[in-house]
Structure 1
Amino acid sequence: MDQVKWGIIGCGDVTEVKSGQAFNKVPNSVLVAVMRRDAGKAADYARRHNVPTWYDDADALINDPNVNAVYVATPPDSHADYAIRAMRAGKPVYVEKPMALNAAECEAMNRVSRETGVPLFVAFYRRSLPYFLTVKELVDQRVIGDIRYVSVQLTWQPAARELGAGPEPNWRVTPAISGGGLFHDLASHQFDFLEYLLGPIKTASGIAQNQAGLYSADDIVVANFAFESGVLGTGSWCFTVNKEQRMEQTQLIGSKGKITFSYFENFRIKVETESGVDEYTVPFPEHVQQPLIELIVRDIRGEGSSPSTGETGARSNWILDQITGH
């Protein structure tokens, strides 16, 4: 196609800066329509972002002849439904992460993509961000030798966004909507990039519990996982500590050193070897999804390939299911 004309289903917070504006900044790409069930909010988004058309009905957007690709930016419980409807209408789909509620829904989405030949992409944008590509380059260059072990640690205090301002918690900690708790929301990014970095995870197991009772989802998870390459890993995630205990880091332990980096907290990469300590600072771009969106547009136009597809995106859901037993 000459130009990829996007329609967004679910123009909420994630689309305000991370993704929505990027569609108009990528070559051969334009945002032409948005949809939100609340008509007033859809109209407001379209006005603020100069989008020519808005809807309060998803099928109307999917069937708009001026829309030839769809970005599904709703919570995970509706990802499969909207993505399948759009693919059956012949329109490539870019879906937010986690890809769906569970691995079974992801497989249903991929099955429709295979049957229709319509491509499916997932917003695991860390596969194309310069910060994470720097980590990958360091690993590929064997700066720390052979990778032996991975350690993922994340401890955060409860946040007002998750606890909610009203009687019900935020959707991110409502399993029927999100598929799990904050582990499901955040660790999906972590495991997706680890597989991009080190290859497929062969086995994963863990324990997920709700300790604090602030909401119904698990709030603490510990996990073990093993890559097909032989690299082993452990992880721990706790979302109910005080702010003084807040910490987030991932360490890659190699035969000749260690790389420490962050998924969410800072832009620094620390490399420790016998030669000393090197640090890299690689800021995120203004619109963090823009590098991936550009690759997806090139893929749709037959000019390249996206590193994040429905097949790769489904992997993290499978890993999360294995760890939590969902």
Structure 2
Amino acid sequence: MTDTDRLRWGILGPGRIAADFSAGVAQSKTGRVEAIATRDPSRPGLAERFPGARILKGYDALLADPDVDAIYIATPHPTHAEWAIKAARAGKHVLCEKPLGLSAAEAEAMQTAAREAGTFLGEAYMYRLHPLTLKLIELLKDKAIGDVRLIKSSFGFAKPFERDHRLFANDLAGGGILDVGGYPVSMARLIAGIAEPHGIIEPDQVFAVGHLGSTGVDEWSAAVLRFPNDIIAEVSCSVSLAQDNVLRIFGTEGSIEIDQFWFAAGKQGGTAIIRLFDATGKRQDIAVDEPRHVYSFEVDAAAAAIREERREFAYPGMTSADTLGNLKVMDKWRAAIGLEYKLETPAVRTRTLTGEALARKQQMVPRGHIPGVEKDTSMLALGMMLFSTFPAASIALDEFYEAGGNLIDSAFQYGGGTQDRLIGEWVRSRGVRDDVVIIEKGAHSPLCYPDVIAKQLTTSLERMQTDYVDVYFMHRDNPDIPVGEFVDAMDEEVRSGRIRGPIGGSNWTRERMDQAIEYAERTGKTRPSVLSNNFSLAEMVDPVWPGCIASSDADWKSWLREKKVVNFAWSSQARGFFTDRSAPGNMSDPELARAWYSDLNFQRKARAEELGQRLGKDPIQIALAYVLNQPWPVVPLIGPATLAELRHSLNAASISLTPAEVQWLERG
């Protein structure tokens, strides 16, 4: 390969790891270092450490450089997400030093940006692509030690304590788990998943303990991972404690040991020894000789993916799914030992992941007016039930807000109060309370009594650290209580100003709503004008949970039009029915089958698929558009688990269906 054919790399950040990568590029078959970006070009020794590379001032200059094809991000952990996303938007391929992000949520946002830009994104666990790893996989696949049962893996070293060093600095996300703990976790997952179709299996249990030092970072820690195939892994890491760093794998017919696996035969190349012991303890040494630099293999693997227009590494490199799985384990490890970085807290993370102030960017979500709500409101509401940390929740809420969304759904019981707290933290950190519309629900069975409404609302407001909510629903009904008592309790909160918008019931029958409306009109109390029942293109066959009510049939539609009641529709996309998870005879998800399987619903799914093909959309997007395009106000609640799912739903909000298309989806 001539020099002009080589992939032109730009290195973002001139630290030690950048020099190692540059040395790897020099010994690669496919790349050359074109430029390096630094905030201080006058820094001594840059030209010597990066021979032949142009030195650019500032990271933005590297992203704008037309002579750079791919970026290697070698900055400290907290800046990985910002610059990987910016690089993708600039059309640059990215190889990012591990960990890809501080959390799985950050990594998923980075992957989403790369996917939308059509660029490569890889996480740089260099050992994964070394011939030593390939040889180990071969031995395990050939059952050289029988069936694997136990893995012991560590990566630890003793760095003298320096309060401001990145390894000990909380504001730089220091400590062992993120810096080196990902190595033994990724190795354990690789070994446990060797027999799986895609080489990936995730642990179903993670237990961990650790020591947090004076700066609040983990100085040494250990975890136990249990996999569904009964393999157990013991992993440990440290930045202030030297460990032997021997990889040990125990099987039914022997064991394997490898010293200092993470650097294979050494950074500069050499010979690594795999010690193979049979069931009797007899030892066989298997040499893996490789003279090339350990980093050169990931350089060539990234180049191969880019030239083949693949957007991720091939196995056994860290695929997108592998990276997310690894970080999810590390998230659990961190949570188990109470490791929190201040930079992930609401007080510090007041901007978006790319360091920008929150602002409207594009009007993807339709806006409208809900009677009783003073603010202009998005006709799509975001539910947060599947988010449990501020970093993850803030990424989703930022995305929703920037796309035009401002209606956020919560409830007293969600996550034991976690969702109330996360919403409140985000609202305060972004300073957007006057612009968002918060839905709150309370008085869920069995605590469905009039006096519970005020008590639970008080707690929810304290969790959110706000003095009012915009829309309020009773989360369930209790027919044993006269409906007027519930109306009185909600009306009192409206008059006190703690509810500043409409009130209503979630999972209420038409009869009880009629009684509540009649009572309010007769007594001069606040009229219930909103409902939160299920509404979807797929009609619920059997309640998802006891007490759930669907409002999707003709009688309900007629009632909603007549009473001018706005329905905030939960499970507006039928909980995944319109994806490939459902099909006649497919019982892999018993709950989905029980609640949604019917001839009528499968006919409607087939029509959604047909219309989706015509419009270039997925059937689940058509199902959401069906709800949004009803002839009376129906506000769908969506509950994405990831940023990608949220964006997928937001892309459905722009679909405009004619009345004829809505009717055709229903009736054919």
**TM-score band, normalised by shorter chain:** 0.7 to 0.9
The aligned runs of 1:64-83 (5 Å cut-off) are 64-83=65-84
Distance in 1 (CA, whole Å) between partners of 2:29 and 2:293 is: 15
Do 1:34 and 1:51's aligned partners in 2 also have CA atoms closer than 8 Å? no
Per the TM alignment, residue 47 of structure 1 is displaced from its structure 2 partner at its CA by 4.7
Per the TM alignment, residue 111 of structure 1 is displaced from its structure 2 partner at its CA by 1.1
Moved more, 225-234 or 125-134: 225-234
Quote the residue 1:176 is aligned against: 171
Structure 1 unpaired stretches of 5+: none
Quote the residue 1:321 is aligned against: 331
Quote the residue 1:256 is aligned against: 253
Distance in 1 (CA, whole Å) between partners of 2:17 and 2:120 is: 22
Quote the residue 2:223 is aligned against: 223
SS at match of 2:204: strand
Higher strand share: 1
Asked if 1:296 corresponds to 2:264, the answer is no
Residue 53 and residue 310 in structure 1: after superposition, are their counterparts in 2 closer, same or farther (change >3 A)? farther
For 2:21, the aligned partner's letter is S
Do 2:37 and 2:58's aligned partners in 1 also have CA atoms closer than 8 Å? yes
Distance in 1 (CA, whole Å) between partners of 2:109 and 2:82 is: 10
- Where in structure 1 do 4 or more consecutive aligned residues deviate above 4 Å? 153-156, 238-241, 283-286
Quote the residue 2:273 is aligned against: 268
Moved more, 7-16 or 19-28: 19-28
Do 1:144 and 1:256's aligned partners in 2 also have CA atoms closer than 8 Å? yes
Quote the residue 1:146 is aligned against: 147
Do 1:92 and 1:119's aligned partners in 2 also have CA atoms closer than 8 Å? yes
Moved more, 103-112 or 298-307: 298-307
Q: Which has the higher contact order (CA 8 A, sep 6+)?
A: 1
SS at match of 1:321: helix
Distance in 1 (CA, whole Å) between partners of 2:107 and 2:81 is: 7
Per the TM alignment, residue 29 of structure 1 is displaced from its structure 2 partner at its CA by 2.0
Asked if 1:186 corresponds to 2:188, the answer is no
CA deviation vs aligned residue, 1:270-326 (integer Å, no higher than 9, x gap): 211136111234366552110111111111111885423444223322111111215
For 1:259, the aligned partner's letter is I
SS at match of 1:202: coil
Quote the residue 1:233 is aligned against: 233
For 2:10, the aligned partner's letter is G
Distance in 1 (CA, whole Å) between partners of 2:240 and 2:23 is: 34
For 1:33, the aligned partner's letter is A
The aligned runs of 1:29-68 (5 Å cut-off) are 29-41=31-43, 44-68=45-69
For 2:276, the aligned partner's letter is V
Moved more, 214-223 or 75-84: 214-223
SS at match of 1:282: strand
Per the TM alignment, residue 52 of structure 1 is displaced from its structure 2 partner at its CA by 4.0
Distance in 1 (CA, whole Å) between partners of 2:296 and 2:155 is: 26
Per the TM alignment, residue 181 of structure 1 is displaced from its structure 2 partner at its CA by 1.0
For 1:270, the aligned partner's letter is R
Quote the residue 1:94 is aligned against: 95
Quote the residue 2:9 is aligned against: 6
Moved more, 74-83 or 25-34: 25-34
Q: What's the Cα RMSD here?
A: 2.6
Quote the residue 2:557 is aligned against: none
Per the TM alignment, residue 94 of structure 1 is displaced from its structure 2 partner at its CA by 0.5
Per the TM alignment, residue 153 of structure 1 is displaced from its structure 2 partner at its CA by 4.2
For 2:39, the aligned partner's letter is R
SS at match of 1:31: strand
The aligned runs of 1:305-320 (5 Å cut-off) are 306=314, 307-320=317-330
Per the TM alignment, residue 187 of structure 1 is displaced from its structure 2 partner at its CA by 1.7
Do 2:89 and 2:117's aligned partners in 1 also have CA atoms closer than 8 Å? yes
SS at match of 1:90: coil
Residue 184 and residue 143 in structure 1: after superposition, are their counterparts in 2 closer, same or farther (change >3 A)? same
Distance in 1 (CA, whole Å) between partners of 2:49 and 2:249 is: 43
Asked if 1:205 corresponds to 2:206, the answer is yes
Q: State the number of aligned residues.
A: 313
Quote the residue 2:244 is aligned against: 247
CA deviation vs aligned residue, 1:141-163 (integer Å, no higher than 9, x gap): 1000011121234564x323xx2
For 2:192, the aligned partner's letter is L
Do 2:108 and 2:324's aligned partners in 1 also have CA atoms closer than 8 Å? yes
Per the TM alignment, residue 117 of structure 1 is displaced from its structure 2 partner at its CA by 1.7
Distance in 2 (CA, whole Å) between partners of 1:154 and 1:21 is: 23
For 1:272, the aligned partner's letter is F
Per the TM alignment, residue 50 of structure 1 is displaced from its structure 2 partner at its CA by 2.6
Q: Give the share of equivalent positions with the same residue, in percent.
A: 25
